[in-house]
Amino acid sequence: MAVINNIMDIVAPPVALITLFFFLPPFCLYKFTHYILYSLFPENMTNKVVLITGASSGLGEHLAYEYAKRGAILVLVARRVKSLNEVAMRCREIGSPSVLVVPSDVSKPDDCQRFIDTTIANFGRLDHLVNNAGIERICLVEEITDMTNLKAVMDVNFWGSVYPTYYAIPHLKESRGRIVVMSSIAGYTFIPRMTFYSASKGALISFYDTLRMEFGSEIAITIIAPGVIESEMAKGKVFTPQGKMEVDHELRDAMLGLVPVQPVKDFAKIVVSRVCSGARYIIEPKWWYGVYFHRVLLPEIVDYWQRKLYSLSPQAPATISLTKKMLGYLPVKSLLYTRSMQSPEIKRE
């Protein structure tokens, strides 16, 4: 067996390069043709049933509005009943023929089965399952006082997508529908103090890429990796090392630094447009592709500068990091951050 592996070590690299040389041009032509056709003839969402988790605010809310404009029937899922009803009312006003509100906790499998069953009982089908619910956790591993406090991040970000997917599979196969997964650029590139968040988002990417192979053409899958968008997370809503939800603008500023924040309305519009055009992957804004390729090709350099920028030591809190100082030195905060991010008012769970 060792001999075979040694031979493969020699043979495989040149074979891979030759294969790439021959197959890349026709593949690029195929992708270009696919893009043009689906751009000209996107999926018609009129009266199709779309279930969105985390729909009470932020990205989930605006994804609901974009689907509503396309005439989709909506099922909105989150824990906050009042906020969900407000979003539902707006969706009806802008074009959705029917909106069902199902207050649920995606980290609980029984709740997930219930809102999938309720969708089928009310509408008889499910066309798009949009797994959007997520929470963020920012700290160094050394700062954690109780590791079990981090369980919620994986419960919501990973299992909160897997549970609904599991119960929705037979219905999505019947409609030849689509699963839309909200991962993060943090699932591809690794950001200090976001260990568990990055792990949960990376797990989503691996899970749904593997699931795509299992489904083949029966169920389409779109994996979305946002950069930094206007959301409750970007407004400073995070879990503390003690497992409590708090609003911390200072920590938010330290983590974002000079990274521009994309308005959530713009992002949601791009996402729904590209989902309906059959996209398999969406990284937005597109300049994050450059960050990803640097992380793959120049990992040591990226690691070095991230350590410099984020002051990676429990004795050096994030609020005195170089990223935070740079934001303070340059009068650009109003240009980089949206107006709503300046407000301390954030909807509570």
Q: Where are the chain's structural domains?
A: 1-41, 44-340
Instruction: Tell me which of 67, 188, 197, 337 is the catalytic residue.
Output: 197
Which strand (E) or helix (H) includes residue 18? helix 2-40
Which residues have C-beta within 8 Å of that of residue 289, sequence separation ≥ 6? 283
Identity of the residue numbered 349: E
Please compute the mean of the pLDDT values over residues 152-160 and round it to a whole number: 94
At 275, is the pLDDT very low, low, confident or very high (cuts 50, 70, 90)?
very high
Residue 220: pLDDT over 70 = yes
Is 0.75 topped by the overall pTM?
A: yes
Report the CATH number of the 44-340 domain: 3.40.50.720
Is the distance from CB of 203 to CB of 247 less than 8 angstroms? no
Please compute the mean of the pLDDT values over residues 272-288 and round it to a whole number: 92
CA angle, 192 then 233 then 333, to 5°:
80
% of residues, the chain, pLDDT over 70:
83
Identity of the residue numbered 271: V
In the annotation, is 30 catalytic?
A: no
At 180, is the pLDDT very low, low, confident or very high (cuts 50, 70, 90)?
very high
Question: Is the omega angle on the peptide bond into residue 14 within 30 degrees of 0, that is, cis?
Answer: no
Q: Which has more confidence, 194 or 208? A: 208
Q: Which has more confidence, 272 or 301? A: 272
